[in-house]
Amino acid sequence: MEQLPILPLRGVVVYPLIGVTIDVGRPLSLRALLAAKEHETDLIVVTQKETGKESPEQEDLYAIGTRVHIAKMSELSNETVRVRLVGKERVKINAIDETKEGWFADVEPLELVEGEEVERTALVRLLKEQFGKLVGSIKGLSPDERRRFEMYERLESLTDYIASKLDIDVDLRQAMLEEPDAVKRGLELLEIMTHEVEIIELEQELRERTKKTIEQAQKEYYLREQMKTIQQELGDQSQDSEPNRLREKLEAIDLPETTRKNVMREAERLNVVPATSPEYAVIRNYLDWVVSLPWGIETEDKLDVKHAADVLDDDHYGLESVKDRILEYLAVRQLTNSLRGPILCLSGPPGVGKTSLARSIASALERHFVRVSLGGVRDEAEIRGHRRTYIGAMPGRIIRGLKQAESKNPVFLLDEIDKMASDFRGDPASAMLEVLDPEQNVSFSDHYIEEPFDLSNVLFIATANDVSQIPAPLLDRMELIQIGGYTELEKVEIAKRHLIPKQYKEHGLKKSQLTIKEDALYEVVRRYTREAGVRNLERVIGSLCRKAAKQIAIGEKKRVTISLKKLSDYLGKPKYRYGKGETEDSIGAVTGLAYTAFGGDTLTIEVALAPGKGKLQLTGKLGDVMQESAQTAYSYVRANAERFGIDPSFYERQDVHIHVPEGAVPKDGPSAGITIATALISALTGKKVRRDIGMTGEITLRGRVLPIGGLKEKALAAHRAGLTTIVIPHDNERDIDDIQDTVREKLTFVPVTTLDQVLDVAFGGN
């Protein structure tokens, strides 16, 4: 065995009889070159397993390398040496000795395997044939090198030469070096080259096919242009072709100048593109969309405020705030004749008439109406459209809605705008910002149309159930109009004006055949439906109509009258109950007033005392706010016990239990504060509270009474429950005017600012 310097290589494998030129700069490698030069010996070059390692260890080197001869060496700048190495033979590294001069390896020649001569000769011919097919595609080969492989007659030399020239990875090159059997190396290389030849032949075939396609397209274009010229000369140019039809439509519509140029350019492309080309269909669909949009088409608004008011009143009972806003818009338009459409957001519970109100607004203005449901929309492209490059691309819902409206100033309903969501496809709410911004929607750009479209004359009306689900930037662009639930009186009036006539018509009934008494309608509203709107009310009325129609159809009756007494025969037992006032003056029980999504209701607050250690217990499924309100009332009573004639140490000997009946129904809010305080004082003093009184108001630790909401609905509930007096916060006195005259005249409203005033009324001045 011989000991020779080792030169580690990165990404390079050297084969016997093959020369390579490399630049050497690593200290370990430079020491190996210096040792070989000083001792006038050969080198052992061996490839690293990991090319990225700057300072390799012994285990980072392969066990098989190549003995090389230094043919030429020259120094470059930056301590780098360029060296020309020529391989001699494969060697096996048995051991490596690390010294100051460098690494030295004990090596011995790798034993080679000799195959059968006939097989070797056949393999040489096959390798030359396949390499000859590849030689033209290998980069970096000089003309001499391209001819050199023909001179190799020995299989060992030919396989090493081909392996050094093929574009294969380092691991495969090393495997070729380590293989002692030249026949196996040749078969491996033959498989690699056969695969490469197949790829090259396929590339050539594709190249030829593409060339023919381009030549055919150029030929068709040339012939088409010739045909146009001939038709022009003969004066026989066809006027009914698809491109000409679209061109005529484009010239007839009122397009902005920039848009016209871009669209006409697309129309010119349609003349050039073959009708069989996929691009032809894309361009044609695009132009069809452009010509179908209402670019310059507007309907003339009927700026008659009185007519609009009549239409809105006929279609909807109540909803005065919305009607007033629309009439204000019309009045300003009538005076100035130039005002952008408002962007309204109607917010309220389901069934209160938000969508139907938008239709009535369109009818009052005599504008076209279009509705787009945004519930569940998650893709931004639903609003802005898809790029034309995608298969099946189409405009977004805004542009599609305008096409449906056939005018550029419709009433555009964006239904359920609070139900939009976002995911990986984008945020449609962000896309709506441009649509609903008066400063931006003058030039709204859909991804499919890619031309600005003016939305400033569109009257956008959005509807929502929960405005907290609408992003703040989007909500900021809309004028929010809250639509509360209907009162009993309003529901009955809506039923008489709209729902009953509609159900008569749908069920083929005449007014003379079915009569629903007003007291029966009130009972239906109170005890068979519980909702803010009137959808369930309409369903119940429909049920009454069906049962009446059945009786008339089978001849059981010719005329049906549904009164309060007969109502249960048609609808069964009542589904709901409503609160009633106390039947007699009582201690520790006070009637409060509550406001729910379904209207107003009464709420009895009960207080019971028991021997104990001052524990305060709250029951009745109370929310956090209501529990805190009870704590506040309890603390106020403790702090002012002597003023009310209560033993200041009562809480040391007595537990207090505050209960609100109907424990399965969740309750919350601060408006029961004065009711709880009054019930506590009544229980602790033994004084009775008037049965005909109801109260509502928030209490503070100083005994002040703060304002509440829903007074209109609470007053209606008090009237329904038979109460005659309502204690309300002084700041709510201005809300009394909102209550219907029939209810307001039968109730006595007592505005208060402190709890002392509440107690004077509750205890009858006692």
Half-sphere exposure of 406 (CA within 13 A, CB side): 1
Which tokens hold the place of 505? Answer: 């018509």
Question: Would you list the DSSP string of 689-753?
Answer: BPTTEEE--EE-TT-BEE--S-HHHHHHHHHHTT--EEEEEGGGGGGGGGS-HHHHTT-EEEEES
> String of b and e for 207-244 (b: at least 16 CB within 10 Å)?
eeeeeeeeeeeeeeeeeeeeeeeeeeeeeeeeeeeebe
- Of 354, 491, 688, 714, the catalytic one is 714
Residue type for position 294? P
Element holding 346 (H helix, E strand): strand 343-347
* Largest separation between any pair of C-alpha atoms in the chain: 131
Sign, Cα dihedral of 233, 234, 235, 237: negative
Token match 């609408």: residue? 470
| Distance, CA of 138 to CA of 527 (rounded, Å) | 91
Residue type for position 753? T
> String of b and e for 453-482 (b: at least 16 CB within 10 Å)?
bebebbbbbbbbbebeebeeebbebbeebe
| Distance, CA of 675 to CA of 694 (rounded, Å) | 8
Closest listed residue to residue 441, CA positions, set 404, 414, 416: 414
How far apart, in Å, are the Cα atoms of 665 and each of 630, 668, 765?
18, 10, 34
Closest listed residue to residue 127, CA positions, set 76, 173, 187, 184: 187
Closest listed residue to residue 48, CA positions, set 85, 9, 78: 9
Long-range contact set of residues 569-576: C-beta below 8 Å, sequence gap at least 24: 570/543, 570/544, 571/524, 571/528, 571/540, 571/543, 571/544, 574/523, 574/527, 574/528, 575/527, 575/528, 575/529, 575/530, 576/526, 576/527, 576/528, 576/529, 576/530
Where do the H-state alpha helices sit in 381-534? 381-384, 397-405, 428-435, 472-476, 488-494, 500-506, 518-527
Are the CB atoms for 159 and 182 separated by under 8 Å? yes
As a 3-state breakdown, the chain gives helix, strand, coil percent values, each rounded to 5, of 45, 20, 35
| Distance, CA of 495 to CA of 508 (rounded, Å) | 18
Torsion angle in degrees (nearest 10) through CA of 298, 304, 308, 309: 160
Q: Which DSSP category does 586 fall into? A: B
| Distance, CA of 249 to CA of 253 (rounded, Å) | 6
- Of 29, 360, 671, 682, the catalytic one is 671
Catalytic-residue membership of 249 = no
Taking residue 405's Cβ as centre, other Cβ atoms within 10 Å add up to: 21
Catalytic-residue membership of 714 = yes
The gap from C-alpha 723 to its chain's centroid, in whole angstroms, comes to 50
Sign, Cα dihedral of 198, 203, 208, 212: positive
Number of H helices, E strands in the chain: 27, 24
- State the catalytic residues: 671, 714
